[in-house]
Amino acid sequence: MDRTQQIKDAHPWLSYDEAVKVILYHHQGLMWIQNLEREKLARSMEAFTKLLRSKTMKALKPFVGYVLGVYYSGVDRYGNQIEVSKESFEKRWHKAREILLTSK
């Protein structure tokens, strides 16, 4: 079973588009920030999928909301355009990760 289907099975309230975007969020950070090689990348993606599956809907919603609303939209919560730079990308990626890891 692929990662998208595993996440959808655990969280049917997510659309396939949303599940794919959440997976892509993690993959982008691993590739562009952490520079992981293929083997480590695959292990990290599996661990990420397992983490998402273990979260309740209540715990996962703030993370998904941030990823879909800020990480991908290019605007902050006030509607201001987010600067597209390495630093702003990393900041948004780490903020999403912080939300996911601290949500209960």
**Taking the model in full, what pTM does it have?**
0.84
Supply the mean pLDDT for the chain. 89
What's the pLDDT score for residue 73? 74
Spatial CA neighbour of 66 closest among 56, 79, 77, 57: 77
Structure tokens at 14: 């997510």
Percent of the chain with pLDDT over 90: 62
Cα 32 from chain centre? 14
